[in-house]
Amino acid sequence: MESFTRTSFGGHVVFGPGTARTELTDEVAALRVSKVLLLTTERAEPLARELTAKLPVADVFTGVREHVPAAVACAALDAATMAHVDCLLSVGGGSSVGTAKAVALSMRVPIVAVPTTYAGSEMTPVWGRTENDTKRTGRSPDVVPRLVIYDPELTVGLPPAITAVSGMNALAHAVRGLAADPLTALVGREAVRVLKAGLPKAVAEQDRVEALYGAYLAASAFAVAGSGPHHKLCHSLGGVYGLPHAPTHAVLLPYTAIGATDGLRKLAERIGAPTSLHAIGMRDEDLADAVDRLPEAADVLVAAYEGKWPA
């Protein structure tokens, strides 16, 4: 056994079908907070209001946007400051949690996360913010949600196309965990196994429990392992060319996960995930610019742009 170090992250986790409706109110009450800012999207607002009907919600922020643009982070912080909240509660995918994290970085108030995708941000100390076409990321224990309610029922309405790419995003977290300390690698391996079995069922709308459980395991592993070259490449492309986060992961993962290409490609095809950067909105001129900016990733970028599978 080699020597290793390990710092784990994560607050209190409640996992189970129906828990957002049966446990959220009591779990938040146990945190003894008095004013909550609800952060969500316009799409999820009715659900978020329903789930938090018995909580002391002081204001609702629905301006969430992907990659946390600086203007959105500022607007959310203004809302939180004006309402004097002592808790941020996100209902939604990684963009909603990400906006809560941007506020928590300044306000240092606890976050409660109710995820509706498999992005996994709720388990990590990683925050991100986009300014002038550049996405900055960092790590801080202050942004790790104090409470996470994982309710697979909330992901039932996630369309198959978003399920597929969000699931591949989770798989990227699991794969990253494999390279970390022994316990994290163990969690990463189990996450790969559970996601491989669960994602096809989730896309076919048969069962969402395994997919969300796998996403939870994967995010827990990623939280410890931290970003690697794959994640850094995804963030660069997302920030500069506005590429959507989860689809970018889905396309790049089979190219960057050395040794697992075949299995990942087969899974991506089986669940209908996109397989080229061109297909998710990257343009010819973006590719040329990206190769100039990131020469070390030129081969991966050119192959992934065309969806040309490595031999």
The first and second tokens of residue 79, run together, are: 């809302």
* Residue of the chain from 129, 176, 196, 245 that contacts ligand NAD (CB under 6 A): 245
Stretch that binds ligand NAD, among 70-78, 86-94, 180-188, 207-215 (CB under 6 A): 86-94
Q: Can you tell me which residue has the tokens 């599978």? A: 309
* Residue of the chain from 88, 112, 246, 301 that contacts ligand NAD (CB under 6 A): 246
The CA-to-CA distance between both ends of the chain, in Å, stands at: 35
Stretch that binds ligand NAD, among 123-131, 144-152, 176-184, 291-299 (CB under 6 A): 123-131
Cβ proximity to ligand NAD: between 138 and 310 the closer is 138
Question: Closest approach of Cβ 310 to ligand NAD, in Å?
Answer: 25
| Size, binding site for ligand NAD by CB under 6 A | 27
How far apart are the C-alpha atoms of 210 and 204, rounded to whole Å?
Answer: 13
Cβ proximity to ligand NAD: between 36 and 237 the closer is 237
Question: Closest approach of Cβ 101 to ligand NAD, in Å?
Answer: 7
Cβ proximity to ligand NAD: between 52 and 95 the closer is 95
Q: Does 188 bind ligand NAD (CB under 6 A)?
A: no
Instruction: Tell me which residue of 75, 48, 49, 80 sits closest to 64, measured CA to CA.
Output: 75
* Residue of the chain from 19, 40, 99, 155 that contacts ligand NAD (CB under 6 A): 155
Stretch that binds ligand NAD, among 55-63, 82-90, 162-170, 259-267 (CB under 6 A): 162-170
Instruction: Tell me which residue of 227, 226, 225, 224 sits closest to 10, measured CA to CA.
Output: 224
Cβ proximity to ligand NAD: between 160 and 310 the closer is 160
Stretch that binds ligand NAD, among 26-34, 153-161, 207-215, 265-273 (CB under 6 A): 153-161
* Residue of the chain from 158, 209, 253, 287 that contacts ligand NAD (CB under 6 A): 158
How far apart are the C-alpha atoms of 311 and 308, rounded to whole Å?
Answer: 9
The first and second tokens of residue 289, run together, are: 């610019």
* Binding residues among 45-84 for ligand NAD as defined by CB under 6 A: 66-67
Cβ proximity to ligand NAD: between 64 and 304 the closer is 64
How far apart are the C-alpha atoms of 271 and 168, rounded to whole Å?
Answer: 10
Q: Does 282 bind ligand NAD (CB under 6 A)?
A: no
Question: Closest approach of Cβ 41 to ligand NAD, in Å?
Answer: 5
Question: Closest approach of Cβ 98 to ligand NAD, in Å?
Answer: 5
Q: Does 121 bind ligand NAD (CB under 6 A)?
A: yes
Stretch that binds ligand NAD, among 31-39, 54-62, 95-103, 207-215 (CB under 6 A): 95-103
Q: Can you tell me which residue has the tokens 């075949």? A: 262
Site of interaction with ligand NAD (CB under 6 A)? 41, 43, 66-67, 92-96, 98, 116-117, 119-121, 124, 126, 128, 154-155, 157-158, 162, 166, 169, 245-246
